[in-house]
Structure 1
Amino acid sequence: MKEGSLDAPVRHPIPWQEESFYDEEALDQELRRVFDICHGCRRCFNLCDSFPQLFDMIDESPNEEVEDLSADDMKKVVDACTLCDMCFMVKCPYVPPHEFDLDFPHLMLRHRAVENRKGKTPFVDKQLARIDRNSAIAGTVAGATNWATKKDNGFTRGVLQTVAGIDKRAHLPEFEDVPLTHKHPGNGPAPNSDAPAFGTRAAIYATCYGNFNDQTSGKAALDVLAHNGVQTRVEYPMCCGMPKLENGDIPAVASTAEQVAAHFSPIIDEGFDVVALTPSCALMMKFEWPLILPDNADVKKLAAATRDLSEYVVEISKAHGLMPIVPMEASIGIHFACHSRAQNMGPKAMEMLKLIPEAKPTIAERCSGHGGKWGIFRDNFDKAVKVGRPAARAVAKNNPDYMVSECPLAGPHLKQIMEMGNQDAVPERIGHPIELIAKAYGF
Structure 2
Amino acid sequence: MREGGLEAPFRRPLDWENPDFYDEAKLDAEMRRVLDICHGCRRCFNLCDSFPRLFDLVDESAKGEIETVASVDFKKVVDACTLCDMCFLTKCPYVPPHEFDLDFPHLMLRYRAVEAKKNGVGFADRQLAETDRNGALATKIAPLANWATDCSHHAARNALEKVAGLHHEAVLPKYSKKSLEALAKETPVEVNREAPGFGRKAVIYATCFGEYNDPSVGLAARAVLAKNGVETEILHPHCCGMPLLEQGLIGEVAASAKQVAAAFEPWIDKGYDIIALVPSCALMLKFEWPLIVTDDPKVKRLAASTYDLSEYVVGISRKEGLAEGLSPIEGGVAFHVSCHSRAQNIGRKGAELLGLVPQADVAVIERCSGHGGAWGYKTANFETALKVGKPVARQAQSSGKAYIVSECPLSGPHIVQGMERLDAEAKKPALLAHPIEILARAYGVK
Q: TM-score range by the shorter chain?
A: over 0.9
Q: CA deviation at 1:223?
A: 0.9
Residue 255 of structure 1: aligned partner: 255
In the alignment, is the contact (CA less than 8 A) between 1:129 and 1:244 conserved in 2?
yes
1:425 aligned partner: 427
Q: CA deviation at 1:394?
A: 2.1
Structure 2 CA distance for partners of 1:392 and 1:2, relative to 1, 3 Å: farther
2:230 corresponds to 1:230: yes
User: Take 2:77 and 2:401, find their aligned partners in 1: how far apart are those partners?
Assistant: 36
Q: Return the offset for 1:71.
A: 2.1
AA aligned to 1:259 is: Q
Counterpart Cα distance in 1 of 2:288 and 2:172 = 26
Shift, 1:188, TM fit: 7.3
> Could you list the runs of 5+ residues in structure 1 that have no partner in the other structure?
none
Contact 1:85/1:339 (<8 A) preserved: yes
1:368 aligns with 2:369: yes
1:119: Cα distance to partner?
2.7
Distance 1:50 1:291, change over 3 A: same
TM-score, length-scaled by structure 1: 0.97
Offset, 1:120 = 3.6
Aligned partners of 2:440, 2:192: CA distance in 1, in Å? 15
Distance 1:189 1:268 in 2: 22
Report what 1:107 is aligned to: 107
Inter-CA distance 164–270: structure 2 relative to 1 (3 Å threshold): same
1:339 alignment counterpart: 340
Q: Does 1:438 align with 2:440?
A: yes
- What is the aligned partner in structure 2 of residue 352 from structure 1? 353
Question: For residues 226 and 415 of structure 1, what CA distance do their matches in structure 2 show?
Answer: 31
Q: CA separation in 2, counterparts of 1:359 and 1:230?
A: 24
In structure 1, the residue corresponding to 2:248 is in which secondary structure? Answer: coil
> Match of 2:335, as an amino acid?
I
CA distance in 1, matches of 2:85, 2:276: 19
Letter in 1 for 2:294: P
Q: How does 1:23-422 map to 2 (within 5 A)?
A: 23-185=23-185, 191-324=191-324, 325-422=326-423
How far, CA to CA, are the matches of 2:269 and 2:129 in structure 1? 31
Aligned length: 443
The Cα shift of 1:177 comes to 1.9
Separation (CA, whole Å) in 2 of partners of 1:125 and 1:152: 24
Decide whether the 8 Å contact of 1:189 with 1:231 is kept in 2.
no
Contact in 2 for aligned 1:139/1:176 (Cα 8 Å): yes
Shift of 1:170: 0.3
Cα distance in 1 between the residues matched to 2:389 and 2:71: 28
Query: Shift in Å at residue 362 of structure 1?
Result: 2.4
Distance 1:127 1:5 in 2: 45
Give 3-state SS (helix, strand or coil) of 1:184's partner: helix
Moved more, 354-363 or 282-291: 354-363
Identity of aligned residues (%): 56
TM superposition shift of 1:187: 8.0
1:19 equivalenced with 2:19 (yes/no): yes
- 2:363 touches 2:399 (CA, 8 Å); kept in 1? no
What whole-Å deviation, never above 9, does each CA across 1:279-300 have from its counterpart, x for those lacking one? Answer: 0000000000000011210001
TM-fit CA distance, 1:397: 3.0
| Secondary structure in 2 matching 1:118 | helix
Q: Does the 8 A contact of 2:34 with 2:104 survive in 1?
A: yes
Letter of the 1:441 counterpart: Y
Q: So what's the TM-score if we normalise by structure 2?
A: 0.97
Question: What whole-Å deviation, never above 9, does each CA across 1:86-125 have from its counterpart, x for those lacking one?
Answer: 0000000000000000000000000001011113422211
RMSD of aligned residue pairs (Cα, Å)? 1.4
Contact 2:335–2:364, Cα closer than 8 Å, also in 1? yes
Residues 152-209 of structure 1: per-residue CA shift (max 9 Å, x gap) = 0001001011121110000111111210011114987962111111110110000000
Query: Partner of 1:203: helix, strand, or coil?
Result: strand
Contact 1:187 1:232 in 2 (8 A): no
- CA distance, structure 2, for counterparts of residue 184 and residue 440 of structure 1: 21
Would you say the 8 A contact 2:275–2:312 is kept in 1? yes
- Runs of at least 4 residues off by over 3 Å: 1-5, 185-190
Question: 1:354: Cα distance to partner?
Answer: 0.9
